[in-house]
Amino acid sequence: MVAAHVAHDCLVGNNVILVNNATLGGHVIIEDFAIIGGLSAVHQFVRIGAHAMIGGASGVETDIIPFGSATGNRAVLQGLNLTGMKRRDFPREEIHALRNAYKMLFSGDETFQERAEMVAAEYPGSEVVKSVLAFINGETKRGFCQPE
Q: pLDDT tens for residues 64-105? A: 999 999 999 999 999 999 999 999 999 999 999 999 999 999
The pLDDT value given to residue 100 = 98
Residue 54 near residue 38 (C-beta atoms within 8 A): no
Angle between helices 92-105 and 112-122 (to 10 degrees): 150
Angle between helices 127-137 and 112-122 (to 10 degrees): 150
Instruction: Give the number of other CB atoms < 10 A from CB of residue 146.
Output: 13
Residue 144 per-residue DSSP state:
B
Q: Which of 9, 96, 108, 138 is catalytic?
A: 9
Q: Which of 5, 8, 108, 143 is catalytic?
A: 8
Respond yes or no: is residue 38 known to be catalytic.
no
Q: What is the pLDDT of residues 99-136, one digit of tens each?
A: 999 999 999 999 999 999 999 999 999 999 999 999 99
The pLDDT value given to residue 43 = 98
What's the rounded mean pLDDT across residues 48-61? 98
Residue 85 near residue 123 (C-beta atoms within 8 A): no
Q: Which of 5, 26, 96, 138 is catalytic?
A: 26
Please name the residue ranges forming H helices in the chain.
82-87, 92-105, 112-122, 127-137
Respond yes or no: is residue 8 known to be catalytic.
yes
Residue 75's nearest CA partner among 142, 2, 7 is: 142
Residue 49's nearest CA partner among 33, 26, 73, 25 is: 33
Distance CA 76, CA 144 (A): 10
Q: Can you give the length of the chain in residues? A: 148
What's the rounded mean pLDDT across residues 137-147? 97
Respond yes or no: is residue 37 known to be catalytic.
no
Distance CA 26, CA 138 (A): 19
With cut-offs at 50, 70 and 90, classify the pLDDT of residue 143: very high
